Copies of this chain bind each other. A is one copy, B any other.
Amino acid sequence: MKKTYSRKEIKGFIDVANLSELKKAMNTWHSPEIAGLVETLPDNQKAIVFSVLPAVAVVKTFKVLELATRKSLIKHLEHEQAAKILNEIQPDDRTEFLSELPGKTVKELLKLLSEKERKVTLSLLGYPNHSVGRLMTPDYIAVKQDWTVKHVLDYVREHGQDKETVNVIYVIDDNGKLIDDIRIREFLFVTHEKKVSELMDYKYISFVVTDKEESAINVFRKNNRVALPVTDEFGILLGIITIDDVLRLAEKEETEDIQKIGGLEVLDEPYMNIPFLKLMKKRSGWLIILFLGEMLTASAMGHYADDYQKVWQLGLFLPLIISSGGNSGSQASTLIIRAMALGEVTLRDWWRIMKREIFSGLFLGFVLGGIGFIRVLTWTLFTPIYGPHYFLIALVVGFALIGVVLWGTLSGSMLPLILKRAGADPATSSAPFVATLVDVTGLIIYFSVAVLILKGIML
């Protein structure tokens, strides 16, 4: 990497609007670096940097900018420049960008597109959100099976320049139906006279345009491909999906999953860039729901008020017991959410998962219950706090732990499956959500065990 200008120098050029020096400097930078710089500039200065970039760099840089920056940039650019960017970015990137904007803005921007590009974009926007149709680009190279290798290479030379990738060549029949895909290297390894049909193995993997975006990630992970074709339901080739878009999509999906598991709404913007009030809205939503749910503990506690006034020692272990349920539940739900996202388990495995988690819950319950039981007995040697019935209290703690951990594990593992079955995202069964659910029920389990064991003796 060559870097002959420092960031400070560049900012100096921008401040005094020395466009010729700025242009020279930008020429030595890579688009990710330029993007990094643009992110840190105030909105009006972003447009200045873009005004001096060569067309290729404009498109490359725009593509890697944060969504928020792209939005504000598009607003600050002159119409001509915005049109240039929109027309020159790849159709799939344009679709992705437009689909994040409000409908009104999209309409405005569509006007800036050329007739041809508008047609492509509108057709891509027509596919359902989160379908592979939204992810694909129609910029691919398709050839016929009776062509010679020379014909193909000439064709690539002539039409390849503005295609997103020429690494894979697609073979279609006269109706446009996909019949094979061949890597460009195969054409390099053979003589020019060979026919395309001689290179074909009729083996290919393809998506249907309505397939879910998420499924594309797993297919790319399992197959070593840089691009895969997309067809309609009749097998007509419509476009291709490239692995760089899949890598970015995977990142977005993981971030969403992780944020949901952590118990907040998906941010859609980097932590440092999101406005404070928007961040609060995303975070307070779930916290309030969880808080309202957790209020049930206060009601449940009210129900057992008599009992724990009589045996106040029960209160000592309350946080310990309900949090153990919450922890084992968070663990189980995270495990299943991730296994589902990776396609390791599906809804049909529910019974196998349940069996596994019943045994897991019992095992973990006995371990923690055992430790709790021993804890009470040991402390009794040093403090009179548990009173004469310390052994019974130890039993209550031990058995309650077994019950609560088993219950936590089971509900934590089943909740993602139930959510999936109901058509919701399994990752919604976040760690805090499961913990709250198990807190309320764990409390009831604890006091029920206490009543069962202490009835007639202490209660």
Contact = CB atoms under 8 A, between A and B. Distances in A.
Interface in A301-339: 301-302, 305, 308-309, 312, 315-320, 322-324, 326-328, 330-331, 333-339
Range of interface residues on A (Cβ < 8 Å): 35 or more
A5 to B, nearest CB: 14
Which one of A189, A267, A338 has the highest number of Cβ atoms from chain B below 10 Å of its Cβ?
Answer: A338
Contacts of A262: 261, 330-331, 333-335, 338, 431
Contacts of A202: 2
A316 B338 contact: no
B263 A331 contact: yes
Which one of A1, A189, A328 has the highest number of Cβ atoms from chain B below 10 Å of its Cβ?
Answer: A328
Contacts of A326: 323, 326, 432, 435
Given A259-B335, A262-B334, A328-B287, A224 B63 contact: yes
Given A258-B257, A316-B301, A432 B330 contact: yes
A368 interface: yes
Give chain A's interface secondary structure class.
Answer: helix
A319 B356 CA distance: 30
A83 interface: no
Given A262-B333, A271-B345, A319-B318, A287 B368 contact: yes
A223 B363 CA distance: 47
B316 A319 contact: no
A384 to B, nearest CB: 11
B330 A291 contact: no
Given A291-B371, A327-B435, A263 B312 contact: no
Contact of A160 (B189, B205, B320): B189
A221 interface: yes
27 contacts: A30-B205, A35-B222, A63-B224, A153-B188, A166-B188, A167-B226, A226-B226, A246-B247, A254-B254, A255-B338, A262-B333, A267-B335, A271-B335, A272-B349, A276-B360, A283-B331, A287-B324, A287-B331, A291-B324, A297-B320, A297-B323, A302-B385, A305-B316, A308-B312, A308-B315, A323-B436, A330-B432
Interface of A: 1-2, 30-32, 35, 60, 63-64, 153, 156-157, 160-161, 166-167, 184-185, 188-189, 202-206, 220-226, 243-244, 246-248, 250-251, 254-255, 257-259, 261-264, 267, 270-272, 276, 279-280, 283-284, 286-288, 290-292, 294-295, 297-298, 301-302, 305, 308-309, 312, 315-320, 322-324, 326-328, 330-331, 333-339, 342, 344-345, 349, 352, 356, 359-360, 363-364, 367-368, 371-372, 375, 383, 385, 405, 431-432, 435-436, 439, 443
